[in-house]
Amino acid sequence: MNKKKTATLLIALCAVFSSCSSGGNSGTSSVTPYVPKTRPSIPENYQRTTPTGGGIEEQYLKNGDYEVDVVTYQAASPMNKYIYYFPKELKESNKTYPVILYSTGTGVKGSTCYPLFKHWASYGFIVGANEDKNTWAGTSSDRTLSFLLRMNENNESFFYQKVDTDNIGVTGHSQGGTSVFNVLTNVSNSQMIKTGVALSPAHEALCEQLGWPYDLTKITQPILMVAGTKGSFEIETVSPIDALNTMYDKITSPKCLARKTGYEHGHTSYIADGYTTAWFMWQLQDDTNAAKAFLGDSPEIANNSLYQDQRINID
């Protein structure tokens, strides 16, 4: 791909995310709760409007039991700001909490994805993100985790000894799905990442053309991949099914692939969130009910009529 075509594709990626919107650091946290100043890239009502085809998907699309709080910290470019959503009780509790890192798609700031972050934090997760809009390498998510780990060792931080360092996962959408592969394999904290969820990840040949390389053969952690089935941008440019199947075949760790029928690229960051949440509850909190979506002779996701092209290899 020549430079002109590459630039055109990058502009198209940014345009897709813009159009799908709904209606060294200082270490200094915001004093008041963080209120996003831009409209969300995730619809705030997505939990009410997203159809589900199974009891587990429906259950984990609803909010969990925890009240949620948020804090931000100034960060160097390109992160610019570290954002952490977390259970409100964390400030006073003596427990540790698992972590979900989020990598955004092209041109998207983490601050605009707060509906997802609030949802996951309501299940007892610390959710870390930042404002990097070019996340493919995984570096910004890696730094977001490193900063949180430093606070976990800082007795002046309310995160002090509250991070469950044995249960850390990563997810991301589109270019952020590419980031998931690199966070799992190619950053300084990769050995700490227990699992990943890649949402409409940009396929290998496209990433080679864009200069966003990753190596799926290096993945050792369990991984869920989800995509959509509608729109040429989703099914031809970013996540065509033949490419997804090739990618799936290269991964040797426990894995699951599914496409939710009838959804375009801009929807896939949230349209399967019932299963994204269930996956993290199983992988990072040992939730045996959530695991039934993916395990056994008849896992729910494999029999969900709202999905297609399901493949599961989890021993």
Residue type, 136: W
Strands 195-199 and 163-173, by their bridges, are: parallel
Can you give the pTM of this predicted structure? 0.90
- Given a cut of 70, is residue 38 above it in pLDDT? no
In this predicted model, what pLDDT tens digit does every residue of 257-279 receive, in sequence order? 999 999 999 999 999 999 999 99
The residue that leads in pLDDT, 39 or 33, is: 39
In this predicted model, what pLDDT tens digit does every residue of 158-205 receive, in sequence order? 999 999 999 999 999 999 999 999 999 999 999 999 999 999 999 999
Lowest model confidence (mean pLDDT) among 37-46, 58-67, 104-113, 140-149? 37-46
How many whole angstroms separate alpha carbon 311 and alpha carbon 245?
9
How many whole angstroms separate alpha carbon 236 and alpha carbon 197?
21
Residue type, 271: I
Give the mean pLDDT of 145-153.
98
Mean pLDDT of the chain: 90
- Given a cut of 80, is residue 54 above it in pLDDT? yes
- To which H or E segment does residue 46 belong? helix 46-49
How many whole angstroms separate alpha carbon 160 and alpha carbon 94?
10
Q: What is the per-residue pLDDT for 315?
A: 75
Q: What is the per-residue pLDDT for 41?
A: 87
Q: What is the per-residue pLDDT for 13?
A: 56
Q: What is the per-residue pLDDT for 276?
A: 98
* Percent of the chain residues topping a pLDDT of 70: 88
- Given a cut of 90, is residue 35 above it in pLDDT? no
How many whole angstroms separate alpha carbon 304 and alpha carbon 78?
40
Using 50, 70 and 90 to split pLDDT, how confident is the model at 18? very low
In this predicted model, what pLDDT tens digit does every residue of 69-93 receive, in sequence order? 999 999 999 999 999 999 999 999 9
- Given a cut of 60, is residue 21 above it in pLDDT? no
- Given a cut of 60, is residue 31 above it in pLDDT? no
In this predicted model, what pLDDT tens digit does every residue of 115-138 receive, in sequence order? 999 999 999 999 999 999 999 999
Residue type, 210: L
Using 50, 70 and 90 to split pLDDT, how confident is the model at 40? confident
Exposed (0-12), middle (13-18) or buried (19+): which is 31, by Cβ within 10 Å?
Answer: exposed
In this predicted model, what pLDDT tens digit does every residue of 275-291 receive, in sequence order? 999 999 999 999 999 99
How many whole angstroms separate alpha carbon 267 and alpha carbon 282?
24
- Given a cut of 60, is residue 61 above it in pLDDT? yes
**How far, in Å, are 115, 119, 243, 301 from residue 53 at the CA level?**
21, 19, 26, 9
- Whether omega before 78 lies within 30 degrees of 0, making that bond cis, reads yes
**How far, in Å, are 103, 167, 176, 302 from residue 100 at the CA level?**
10, 9, 13, 25
How many whole angstroms separate alpha carbon 1 and alpha carbon 57?
40
Domains of the chain: 3-313 (3.40.50.1820)
Q: What is the per-residue pLDDT for 68?
A: 97
